[in-house]
Structure 1
Amino acid sequence: MSLFPADIVEQAQRIITDFTARGLMVATAESCTGGLIAGALTEISGSSAVVDRGFVTYTNKAKMDMLGVTDATLATHGAVSKETALQMVHGALFRSQAAMAVAVTGIAGPGGGSVDKPVGLVHLAAKSRSGKILHREMRYGDIGRTEVRLATVRTALAMLAEAADRDDIQA
């Protein structure tokens, strides 16, 4: 029995198997998912060879203190923005021993949305030490808090796999 749906467990298993074979470690920086990405990865036996650390940075202060997101970025673009996701992923990567990192920030709902930033808006970023970076702006819609969070985990895991394939990196 798993805490996660079967498709997420399968995604996580593929990442753990592939990254273990390649000697790659991962760090996560999570806001709206509250640690679920790291949780999905650590659901897999042997994940200690891959998961270096996870940062759960729900508040703006935590994003600044733990990941180095700047006050200016938060003031100008807000916590849920491409700019914040990019700073989060950079901070996670360079405050860890990981070869790759993934970061997510969004509005899971049911409240907190606006016309410009509706419920279901999530910014995700993945980055490797070579400097290659992926960004996705997802608009999952107001599908419910749990579903937004699980959809974000699925996208984040897919981005980790894609970033590793694009980079073709080895430890």
Structure 2
Amino acid sequence: MFPPDLVQLAEDIRDGFAARGLWLATAESCTGGLIAGCLTHVSGSSAVVDRGFVTYTNAAKTDMLGVPASLIAELGAVNDRVAEAMAAGAIAHSRANVAVAVTGIAGPTGGTATKPVGLVFIARARRGGDSVVERHIFPGDRTTVRLATVRRALQLLRESLG
């Protein structure tokens, strides 16, 4: 179902998080649950995956994760501050030690001159700790953009292990 490199990343995350007794959560917009789906594709993931939030609409981001509606109204859903708020919201609404969040424009429609198709923001937050937000423009069609987003989000989770 998932490419071998993504399955390997999911296995690395499962093993690393389990060895450290850590939990993770996902907050997904443009990937629609693919990150959580890839993580739970591997056996034993229930030891580390607490929950996944699919927050495709702006209302869902606000209702489920506590992203301020005013922030979305001011900046739109696709930006670094919303991604960071999504990750923080996933931490606040779960028992996760680490959360990853994604928001972007997978295409082929929805892009603008300032927010082109392929623009994705990925945030990782740690409970009581730091957060990191990355901006990417992934080339390709909708599937390629979404899989590239999953890949980088999983890499960020693995990198959180040190």
Report the TM-score when normalising by structure 2: 0.98
1:128-158 CA-partner distances (Å, limit 9, x unpaired)? 11321111001113x0000100000000001
| Structure 2: runs of 5 or more not aligned | none
Give the equivalent residue in structure 1 for 2:20: 22
Does the Cα contact within 8 Å between 1:74 and 1:84 map onto a contact in 2? Answer: yes
Describe the SS at the equivalent of 1:153: helix
Q: 2:52 aligns with which of 51, 54, 62?
A: 54
Q: 1:162 aligns with which of 142, 146, 159?
A: 159
Does the Cα contact within 8 Å between 1:126 and 1:159 map onto a contact in 2? Answer: yes
Q: 1:71 aligns with which of 60, 63, 69?
A: 69
Does the Cα contact within 8 Å between 1:105 and 1:124 map onto a contact in 2? Answer: yes
Report the TM-score when normalising by structure 1: 0.93
Give the equivalent residue in structure 2 for 1:96: 94
1:56-106 CA-partner distances (Å, limit 9, x unpaired)? 000000000000111111011110000100110000011001110000000
| Structure 1: runs of 5 or more not aligned | 166-171
1:34-66 CA-partner distances (Å, limit 9, x unpaired)? 000000100110000000000000000000000
What's the RMSD between the two structures over aligned residues? 0.7
Give the equivalent residue in structure 1 for 2:150: 153
Q: Percent identity?
A: 57
Describe the SS at the equivalent of 1:54: strand
Deviating beyond 3 angstroms after TM superposition, the runs of 4 or more aligned structure 1 residues are none
Q: Distance in 1 between matches of 2:84 and 2:29?
A: 13
Q: Distance in 1 between matches of 2:16 and 2:69?
A: 37
The number of equivalent residue pairs is: 162
